[in-house]
Chain A
Amino acid sequence: DAGVIQSPRHEVTEMGQEVTLRCKPISGHNSLFWYRQTMMRGLELLIYFNNNVPIDDSGMPEDRFSAKMPNASFSTLKIQPSEPRDSAVYFCASSRTSGTYEQFFGPGTRLTVL
């Protein structure tokens, strides 16, 4: 079975550019989470969706960040405009909402904003 798929794996961009990160959750999982990880702050939850509906976006740092989940198999996290302080590893994770709540993480997107 394929795990959580994220693309791109690495992104280098210049300040002010738009960045779009993509995620395909595990089939059958109906919760999806976007995290950001930095050395200073660790792993932080940005937003999570349940059945494609955003439930809690209180972790989204500011209006430059937006996330969508148009269907059960695809989500995007967009940063516009990007800033150097957005440089981090962005992980997408998915889980079921019954039984075990184990979250399965994708390999992450390493973003560098110059």
Chain B
Amino acid sequence: RKEVEQDPGPFNVPEGATVAFNCTYSNSASQSFFWYRQDCRKEPKLLMSVYSSGNEDGRFTAQLNRASQYISLLIRDSKLSDSATYLCVAQKAGSYQLTFGKGTKLSVIP
């Protein structure tokens, strides 16, 4: 079983829609979590960190459920520019290493 698992998608949604991505992690030693965004044929870039209390950054909301080992990302009012692959990432306490999920592809359609 992979350490970080995501639904690969693709998710095809119309502009303005709300879309949610889920991710599960298997290593209970994972301490920190992130969402990275990767555009087609580009490098991954940090979108946001995920905190236990949940956090919001504009149209993006991230949630963490440690008991269920589950992370989510909610995108409200989708824009065409949100089209990308979203990578769920886990980091063990005391380690600099990141473990990436394979990503969920989102296409926002006009």
A interface, over-half SS? strand
Q: Is A50 an interface residue (CB 8 A)?
A: yes
Binds A, one of B39-47, B60-68, B73-81: B39-47
> Is the Cβ of B100 less than 8 Å from the Cβ of A105?
no
Contact between chains at B97 and A48 (CB < 8 Å): yes
Chain B interface, >50% SS class: strand
A56 on interface, CB distance cutoff 8 Å: yes
Report the separation of the CA atoms of residues A14 and B46 in the bound assembly, to the nearest whole angstrom: 35
Q: Does B29 make an interface contact (CB < 8 A)?
A: no
Tell me if A42 and B96 are in contact (CB < 8 A).
no
Give the shortest distance, in Å, between A5 (CB) and chain B (any CB).
12
* Size of B's binding interface in residues, CB under 8 A: 17
Complex contacts, A55 vs chain B, CB 8 Å: 96
Question: Which of B42, B45, B102 has the most C-beta atoms of chain A within 10 angstroms of its own C-beta?
Answer: B102
A108 touches B96 (CB 8 A): no
Q: Could you tell me the distance between the alpha carbons of A91 and B43 in the complex, rounded to whole angstroms? A: 8
Q: Contact residue range for chain A?
A: 20 to 34
Q: Are B98 and A108 in contact (CB under 8 A)?
A: no
Nearest A residue to B103, CB-CB: A42
Structural contact, A42 and B91, CB atoms closer than 8 A:
no
Q: Is the CB of B97 within 8 A of A43?
A: no
- Establish whether residues A43 and B96, one from each chain, have CB atoms under 8 Å apart when the complex forms: no
Contact A48 B43 (CB under 8 A): no
- Give the Cβ gap from B43 to chain A, nearest Cβ, in Å: 4
- Report whether B91 and A101 are in contact in the complex, using a CB–CB cutoff of 8 Å: yes
| B57-110 interface with A by 8 A CB criterion | 87, 91, 96-103
A42 to B85, alpha carbons, bound, how many Å?
Answer: 11
| Selected contact of A105 from candidates B43, B96, B101, B103, CB within 8 Å | B43
* CA–CA, A45 and B46, complex, Å: 17
Set of chain B residues within 8 Å of A43, measured between Cβ atoms: 44, 87, 100, 102-103
A residues with a Cβ closer than 8 A to B are: 31, 33, 41-43, 45, 48, 50, 55-56, 91, 95, 97, 101-103, 105-108
